[in-house]
Structure 1
Amino acid sequence: MSSETFNLDKEQLIQREFVQMESKLPKATYSSRQKLALTCRILFDNGHDSGLAGQITARGETSGTFLTQRLGFGFDEITAGNLLLVDEDLQVLEGEGMPNPANRFHSWVYRARPDVRCIIHTHALHAAALSMLETPLLVSHMDNCVLYDDVAFLPQWPGVPVGNEEGELIAAALGNKRALLLAHHGLLVACSSIEEACLIALAFERTARMQLLASAAGEIQPIDPALGKEAHDWILHGQRSASTFAYYARRSLRSGGDCLS
């Protein structure tokens, strides 16, 4: 048996695996429109549907534009072909119909965060239930560490988020984090890629569900901060995220392959 790795420390092993991920893990070749449509289907399949509530956007090729779903369509009805391209004022540049007026706060987040390429806002059941308690999201399990020290909390509900005041408030509350829990409302995720945003939104809802389950049984105990940060960076590796997204895409495509059209 080879023992070439048995004298390496943990950080060396982590970096070694990152290199392997780049060369060994499969890469999907979806367009931005297809990724966004797939994200809508993946989130629908994993409990993020709430009628017509929620918005998913991704920056367009032209500055100050973004893709989003058409108001009146549920996440399970979105396809690459019925997405809209809109400007910061929510004026439709490509497509038919209108965007959700609540997309206005997305414009504020994009302005505040040039690093953000995709924003997801949903009223997923467990995240929405947790938001009613006016308590922050707690990350205290290995699987949820993708969110470790990366979730902000907005304790006040500004009402229907269609005004500029709400956009300023939400963008400020998010700060430099990837995620935000909005009291009496739902979750927000803002990431550097569509794939990353999709996976963090899935993790957010699972974390909220686990928090509600664990807190019903006892007091949730914190994890070691250094280990939480280590796990956060491990899970968030770009190629790992891309491969995990591809897995969820394959699952959704088996039941709803028309979303790529």
Structure 2
Amino acid sequence: MKIQAKKHISQRLNQEMQSLNTGGWSDRQKLALACRILHEEGHWRGLAGQMTARVDGSSEMLTLGFGVGFDEARASRLARVDQDLRPLGNSVMPNPGVRFHAWIYAQRPEIQAIVHTHPPACAALSMTGEPLTVAHMDATPLFDDCAFLPEWPGLPIGDEEGRIIAAAMGDKHAILLANHGLLAAGRSIEEACMLAVWMEQAADMQLRARALGPVKAIDAALAQESRDFLRRPKVLELTFANFARRAVRADGGVLL
């Protein structure tokens, strides 16, 4: 009875959410906003972080210019590049690290955006040889959807690193990269951004809990139920919009 009641409530919520406003931003604006969000969430370490978005289902990508930090992202200044990282139009050179993003886009046509960063908690967890554990409700969006690459393949600016990371990721949407950081690949800009945010939060909780003792994973069925709700497209849009509005309040120029 309880399961049926919960299912009914979930379905009703899904219907009611469809009318809620989520910003109406363009993909360029969403990508710039995502970069600002990632900066505020601690993903700003130097120029190692990148975020890309696929352009209209093609092999072209939008991304930041090389040397531009997440905190400097603006919609009009994003670079547009082809799969070989050649700038298109008036675009500038991108971060060479986005080369391995092209490998994932080529193998995963459903993926529309990718985040790769070295935030402190994921970077620290990546040094332990321990994969991410879903042991808290806030980590459930990553349940059974976060791979682990146990060996660092080296600086990811060549094709070999792209092959290794894409193969290790398989059909999942996130991966913890040993001695490195995280990668999140979403079916939307919102999903990629929020997976990266949630992954860093989950890693931080895991490190804090491990200092006290063993980490107890959540029951698989309950974790899946939570993941499936929190990863619904409309829930992702609403969650992203909440973070994005903060970025706009801090600097409305991000949308220009």
**Into which bin does the TM-score normalised by the smaller protein fall?**
over 0.9
* Cα distance in 2, alignment partners of residues 221 and 151 from structure 1: 17
In structure 1, what is the equivalent of residue 136 of structure 2? 141
- 2:44 paired with 1:12: no
Contact conserved, 1:82 with 1:95, CA < 8 A, in 2? no
* Cα distance in 2, alignment partners of residues 112 and 97 from structure 1: 26
Using a 3 Å threshold, how does the CA distance of structure 1 residues 11 and 93 change in structure 2: closer, same or farther?
same
Give SS of 1:94's match: coil
Superposed CA RMSD: 1.5
Which of the numbers 209, 212, 226 marks the counterpart of 2:207? 212
Give SS of 2:144's match: coil
Which of the numbers 214, 219, 224 marks the counterpart of 2:219? 224
| 1:2-28 deviations in Å (ceiling 9; x for gaps) | xxxx995221221111111112x2232
After the TM superposition, which of the residue ranges 34-43 and 88-97 deviates more from structure 2? 88-97
Give SS of 1:217's match: coil
| 1:113-142 deviations in Å (ceiling 9; x for gaps) | 011000000011111111011210111111
One-letter identity of the residue aligned with 1:76: D
In structure 2, what is the equivalent of residue 73 of structure 1? 68
Describe how 1:25-64 pairs up with structure 2 within 5 A. 25-61=20-56, 63-64=58-59
One-letter identity of the residue aligned with 1:238: P
Percent identity for Structure 1 against Structure 2: 50
In structure 1, what is the equivalent of residue 191 of structure 2? 196
- 2:120 paired with 1:125: yes
One-letter identity of the residue aligned with 2:41: N
In structure 1, what is the equivalent of residue 145 of structure 2? 150
Using a 3 Å threshold, how does the CA distance of structure 1 residues 249 and 7 change in structure 2: closer, same or farther?
closer
Contact conserved, 1:67 with 1:84, CA < 8 A, in 2? yes
Using a 3 Å threshold, how does the CA distance of structure 1 residues 8 and 175 change in structure 2: closer, same or farther?
closer
In structure 2, what is the equivalent of residue 84 of structure 1? 79
In structure 1, what is the equivalent of residue 238 of structure 2? 243
TM-superposed CA distance for 1:95, in Å, is 3.4
* Cα distance in 1, alignment partners of residues 196 and 129 from structure 2: 19
Gapped runs of 5+ residues in structure 2? Answer: none
In structure 2, what is the equivalent of residue 3 of structure 1? none
**Total equivalences in the alignment:** 256
In structure 2, what is the equivalent of residue 98 of structure 1? 93
One-letter identity of the residue aligned with 1:116: I
**Given the two structures, how large is their TM-score scaled by the length of structure 2?**
0.97
* Cα distance in 1, alignment partners of residues 223 and 3 from structure 2: 24
Contact conserved, 1:54 with 1:121, CA < 8 A, in 2? yes
Gapped runs of 5+ residues in structure 1? Answer: 1-5
Using a 3 Å threshold, how does the CA distance of structure 1 residues 12 and 70 change in structure 2: closer, same or farther?
same
* Cα distance in 1, alignment partners of residues 91 and 56 from structure 2: 19
* Cα distance in 2, alignment partners of residues 164 and 257 from structure 1: 38
One-letter identity of the residue aligned with 2:192: A
